[in-house]
Amino acid sequence: MQNTPKILLVEDDSIIASGLVYALQGEGYEVTHANEVTKAIGYVNEEKFDLALLDLGLPDGNGFNISEKLRENQSETAVIFLTVVDDEGNIVKALEGGAEDYITKPFRLRELLARIKVVLRRRGGDSDIISLGKVNVHTTEGKAYINNNPVELTALEYRLLLTFANNKGRVLSRLQILDNLWDSAGNFVEDNTLTVYIKRLREKLGDNINIETVRGMGYKAQ
């Protein structure tokens, strides 16, 4: 990742918060700290974050209020919840709702830092993810994910998916798609092979993506 990752830390325990700010800055992250939901949402409205560390129990609400807001505004922000043991019932809900991870307090700092690294690596930075339907295309990694699970794609299937992701909702002619599939080695994709690749991509991605055949025109994905 070229840019300094930006982390939003929401934690009302000032001792935990100051320790975390110090540690995260020490790792080279840019940290914004909020101690309540209202302030955190203010930051979310102003700035883009690569990752949010969210305490669940906050003076004016809970961490879910913030994760929901993040999902509306900036779905590419990864979320890790900071929880206490009693929260674990809620956490299942959080993970199903798209949170990347959670860690139970008291946690070891090194473990949290390691998990942050994994999540950020998986996310590949804020501007490198293109979503199409329920599929996230991580252009830095050259991989696609559904609910944070990687999808096994061949290089060509990936490039086909990327072509659709870059042209979300637009009708692409077969020729336009084929132009995009020329690989760097100059391997040419035949027109009739394209139908096969599209079929395979549809099979692998299922309901998570809608690749529509537009009669006489080409294809449209969203």
Q: Which of residues 55-114 bind Ca ion (CB under 5 A)?
A: 55, 57
Q: Which two tokens stand for residue 122?
A: 């998986």
For residues 193 and 159, give the distance between their C-alpha atoms in angstroms, rounded to a whole number: 14
Cis before 106? omega within 30: yes
Q: How many whole angstroms separate alpha carbon 39 and alpha carbon 35? A: 7
- Min CB(12)–Ca ion separation in Å: 5
CB of 121 to Ca ion, least distance (A): 28
Of 37 and 194, the one with the shorter C-beta distance to Ca ion is 37
State which residue, 57 or 98, has the beta carbon closest to Ca ion: 57
Nearest in space to 105 (alpha carbons), one of 8, 7, 6, 11: 11
For Ca ion, the closer CB: 84 or 196 = 84
Residue 12 found at the interface with Ca ion (CB under 5 A): yes
Residue number with CB closer to Ca ion (21 or 181): 21
Stretch that binds Ca ion, among 10-18, 32-40, 111-119, 164-172 (CB under 5 A): 10-18
Stretch in the footprint of Ca ion (CB under 5 A) among 4-12, 71-79, 111-119, 128-136:
4-12
CA–CA gap between residue 93 and residue 115 (Å, rounded): 20
Q: For residue 51, which phi and psi values (nearest 5 degrees)?
A: -150, 145
Site residues, Ca ion (CB under 5 A): 12, 55, 57
